[in-house]
Structure 1
Amino acid sequence: MKRASPENSTSKPESNGSPTITDIALAAGVNVATVSRALRGVPGKVSARRREEIERIAREMGYRPNALAASLRTRQSNLAAIIVPDLGNPVFGPMVQGIERSLRARGHLSLIVQTPSDPKERESLIVALASRQVSGLMILAAENHDPLLHAARRSNLPTVLVNRGSGDRQFAAVVNDDRESVRQVLEHLTGLGHRHIAHVAGPGTSSTGSARRVAFEQMARELNLTTSTVVESLAFTREAGRAATEQLMADGAPFTAIFAANDLLALGALDVLRARKLAVPAQVSLVGHNDMPLVDLINPPLTTVRIALEEMSEQAAALFIERIDSPDATPITRMLLPTLVVRESTAPPAA
């Protein structure tokens, strides 16, 4: 019997099933291992000319790789788990979009999940993701001593922290330079003449909350501010910002400006100031952090610190792939510079 040549054997198999690498091997006149190496892009095993021929035949036959079968063989998928603390927080939408887009360009799809509030559920979440053979974890928020991080460490999955640091450098991370954020805010406010500045801090359990608070307290001393009151919020939410600002007002310490650790806290502070008939910025200046969507549309448009979201997303995706390719490499932290965006919620203090 005459053997079929590659030119006349690229039609789909007669069976009702999808073409397999065995079908492609028969059509190309090579063995199955060669087809597998060619389609997986294994370097140095298949000549460029042969690889192109096999890829052409695969396309013509309508071959689609079986991702599930591949994950069962390698015990790893091309599915990255992105863990988000609050899907309702507007700052995380653009961040997740950027990471998902960057990962997809690198051949990885994304599974997006929200961080459970129960610490035990956080550990179970990591176990569940590992059992589904995700290729790694992208954690967009983690508390200090978070069970989520302990479980991630035990899972041995490649892990990257985004806009959050663990403090112990056990994980790769891409973070904002929070000290630089605070420096820019205080430089702006003191430049306007403010000497009584309050800080509505984020939760002390959060790495960003504690980092911004520590930086504020240190720089307030260095600047010899007349008053530098700090109140801690229980969460990074508008409601928590309202509660913290009410506490600030009850404490009675004078202030002419408020720096909130994120924009949602700033919105909560604005709610309280409006309720008390304190005009922003005529009587109290207000600064947020993150430059989340739409804060330029509130009244007054919010002065805030813009984190480098696009660069953070791209760097996080690149670092994630590096961790997969070199899991034993020493974890590194990449720190990105923020930018103060001055709008209409800050002004010189009233005489």
Structure 2
Amino acid sequence: MSQPAVVPVTIDDIAKAAGVHPATVSRALRGVSGKVSPDKRAEIERIARDLGYQPNAVAASLRTKQTNIAAIVVPDLGNPLFGPLVQGLEQALRQQRLLCLVVQTPAAAEERRELIVALANRQVSGLLILAAECDDPMLEAARQRALPTVLINRGTGDRHFSSVVSDDRESVRLVLEHLAGLGHRAVAHVAGPAVSSTGRARREAFVEMSRALGLGPCPVVEAKAFTRAAGQAATMQLLDSGAQGSLPTAIFAANDLIALGTLDVLRQRGLSVPRDVSLVGHNDMPLVDLIDPPLTTVRVPVEGMSAQGAALFLEHLRDPALAPSTRVLMPELVVRSSTAAPTAA
């Protein structure tokens, strides 16, 4: 036998129980100051709890043009870096009574723009974009719709949006000084895609700092994505571009997934890490300490980026006219067994 449908409690029900007009109940439950006495508000709130009243979020959004929903836009749900970032953001925003909607970035430019338009049409309160590309159509759509937007993990440098990022130049400095200290002089870089700010920034810093340290030759190849497969393709290009005797003694990969692809190819070519080639990644994503050998990598401040990204987002919600700002957090190098002195050193 089926259970009878539960009829939701309405403001009219509360008003009847409290002996007041429904408008008074609405003001009391919305916390409108100066309209309802403290004693009457407390009585109305008690009756609402006793009756099991649940506010209608859809109706409230129609009144306020706000849904209290923050859209978190993630470029690749399969990338282990983004899970902890999303978790930290969701926890921080939920404490402020914001519901988070997580969506993955489409590949096509027009679809990226349409995604932001669709989110705006559904009256999300704002956007937290975890990995925008340079000249990303998502950003132009967000700007046109005047959506409060905070970029996390990647910035644009155009001062249109606030961002919370890890210091990419510091990352490269830590890696190169570590490798140079071990005695490496021939260090290669498997760079991230140039369309991303992180890929571009790490590549530029690598070229500049390897010269400043007097290293060389230091070839650079570009991975077309921050993925293991792209790392494999770029590493094959790197190894095929020179004679066996001129191979680098160390490789710095732009992220850990690229580094895994590099490790695959080195093994296929019969090269051992770190005996033949030292390997460094970036991000310190979960489980890279469990691969063989455990990966030396740059740890990005995930907890700090989540906490400060959420705080900055809330500031923009409270003050839509707030000027954009950038918060730069410091990474750290985690040295494991994938790096060692070159055998010839």
Shift of 1:203: 0.3
Given candidates 144, 152, 158, the residue that maps to 1:162 is 152
Q: Provide the residue aligned with 1:232 in structure 2.
A: 222
Report which stretch shifted further, 49-58 or 327-336: 49-58
Q: Secondary structure at the match of 2:282?
A: strand
Deviation at 1:22, TM superposition (A): 3.2
Q: What amino acid is aligned across from residue 310 of structure 2 in structure 1?
A: A
**AA in 2 matched with 1:237:** T
Paired residue type of 1:213: R
- 1:306 paired with 2:299, answer yes
Q: Which position in structure 2 is the counterpart of 1:279?
A: 272
Contact 1:139 1:159 in 2 (8 A): yes
Deviations 1:185-226 (A, max 9, x none): 111111111111111100000011001111111111211112
TM-score, normalising length from structure 2? Answer: 0.93
Q: CA RMSD in A?
A: 1.8
Q: Deviations over 1:230-281 (max 9, x none)?
A: 1111110111101111111122153111110100000011011101111101
Amino acid of the structure 1 residue aligned with 2:177: E
Matches within 5 A, 1:209-224: 209-224=199-214
1:118 counterpart = 2:111: no
Between 39-48 and 250-259, the greater mean CA deviation after superposition? 39-48
Task: State the secondary structure of the residue aligned to 1:195.
Answer: coil
1:126 CA displacement: 0.9
1:328 partnered with 2:321: yes
The answer to whether the Cα contact below 8 Å between 1:170 and 1:331 also exists between their aligned partners in 2 is yes
Letter of the 2:256 partner, please give it: D
Structure 2 gaps of 5+ residues are none
Q: Which residue of 2 aligns with 1:96?
A: 86
Q: Name the structure 2 match of 1:35.
A: 25
Q: For 1:281 and 1:16, locate their aligned partners in 2 and report how far apart those are by CA, in whole Å.
A: 65
Deviations 1:73-118 (A, max 9, x none): 1111011111111111111111111111211111111111111111
Query: CA offsets per residue over residues 151-176 of structure 1, 9 Å max, x none?
Result: 11111111111101011011111111
1:9 corresponding residue in structure 2? none
Match of 1:55 among 34, 39, 45: 45
Q: How big is the shift at 1:72?
A: 0.9
Residue type at the aligned position of 2:270: K
Query: What is the rounded CA distance, in whole Å, between the counterparts of 2:266 and 2:173 in structure 1?
Result: 25
Supply the distance in 2 between the matched residues of 1:113 and 1:28 (Cα, whole angstroms).
43
- Structure 1 residues 320 and 48, CA, compared in 2 at 3 Å: closer, same or farther? farther
Query: Take 1:314 and 1:42, find their aligned partners in 2: how far apart are those partners?
Result: 30
The letter for the 1-side match of 2:141 is A
Alignment of 1:193-208 (within 5 A): 193-208=183-198
SS at match of 2:88: helix
**Alpha-carbon offset, residue 345 of structure 1:** 0.3
Q: Does 1:135 align with 2:125?
A: yes
Q: What is the DSSP-based 3-state SS (H/G/I as helix, E as strand, rest coil) of the residue aligned with 2:262?
A: helix
> Are residues 339 and 240 of structure 1, via their aligned partners in 2, closer, same or farther at CA, if it must alter by over 3 Å?
same
Is 1:248 the counterpart of 2:241 in the alignment?
no
Q: Distance in 1 between matches of 2:204 and 2:270?
A: 31
SS of residue in 2 equivalent to 1:59: helix
User: 1:308: Cα distance to partner?
Assistant: 1.0
Give the drift of 1:148: 1.2
Aligned to 1:337: 330
How far is 1:45 from its partner?
5.6
Distance 1:147 1:17, change over 3 A: same
Q: Check the 8 A contact 1:303/1:345 in 2, yes or no.
A: yes
Asked if structure 2 preserves the Cα contact closer than 8 Å seen for 1:227 and 1:254, the reply is: no
- Alpha carbons of structure 1 residues 170 and 224: separation in structure 2 relative to 1, 3 Å: same
Whole-angstrom distance in 1 between the partners of 2:81 and 2:29: 39
Distance in 1, Cα, partners of 2:314 & 2:190: 37
- Cα distance in 2 for partners of 1:337, 1:47 equals 51
Letter in 2 for 1:209: G
1:21 is displaced (CA, Å) by 2.5
- Structure 2 counterpart of 1:278, one-letter code: L
Task: Tell me the equivalent position of 1:6.
Answer: none
Query: What's the CA shift for 1:149?
Result: 1.0
Distance in 2, Cα, partners of 1:221 & 1:45: 69
Corresponding residue of 1:293: 286
| Larger CA deviation: 41-50 vs 322-331 | 41-50
Q: Which residue of 1 aligns with 2:62?
A: 72
CA 1:350–1:52 in 2, change beyond 3 Å: closer, same or farther?
Answer: farther
Q: Percent identity?
A: 67
Unaligned runs of 5+ in 1: 1-14
Amino acid at match of 1:119: A
